[in-house]
Amino acid sequence: MRKCMLAALRLNGFPCKRPENVTADEFFSAALAFPGNTCNSVGSAVTAANVEKLPGLNTLGVSMSRVDYAPWGVNPPHTHPRATEIIYVLEGSLDVGFVTTAGKLFARAVCKGELFVFPRGLVHYQKNNGGAPAAAISAFNSQLPGTQSLALALFAASPPVPTDVLARALQVDGGVVEAIKSKFPPK
């Protein structure tokens, strides 16, 4: 058990406890036992078990998530700036992929009982490729991997990314950018 000795001390931004004040509950969570609500615009739900929700993970360098997918649901393109992710399919079948910094897409179907790795920091996605719900468990080599959704970063930033910058980068008209932005309310 790697817990800090001083109650007022923080490590990695999270409070440390005196060993005599640590309980087994700080190392336990049932959060991944239950499916998330996939009734949303993308048809997926991510339930995290990281240091923010499971204090016993502080300093251990690991975390997990459960991802539930409605039929044809998508976990949209995103990155984890602080972790590599390995996904294990519990139910169903997923189309998954990541894009290298050279612009090459590595993609394939991953079925129940199979795994796939997404290297740290690379843009990746998962899509349920079937008409029934699917579920997966993701493991990370970080207690707090971070997640940055590409769509939210580009179209829902506050203050907003300038429309002319996005129009030029995406090689589309500014009206197209504004139409996309209207679907993502600012945070």
Binding-site residues sit at 75, 78, 80, 85, 124
Binding-site residues for Mn(2+) sit at 78, 80, 85, 124
- Give 61's Cβ-side CA count (13 Å radius): 2
Binding-site residues for oxalate sit at 75, 80, 85
Q: Provide the H-helix boundaries in 28-138.
A: none
Q: How big is the CA angle at 151 (ends 147 and 155), to the nearest 5 degrees?
A: 120
Q: How big is the CA angle at 74 (ends 70 and 77), to the nearest 5 degrees?
A: 160
- CA dihedral sign, ordered 139, 143, 148, 149: positive
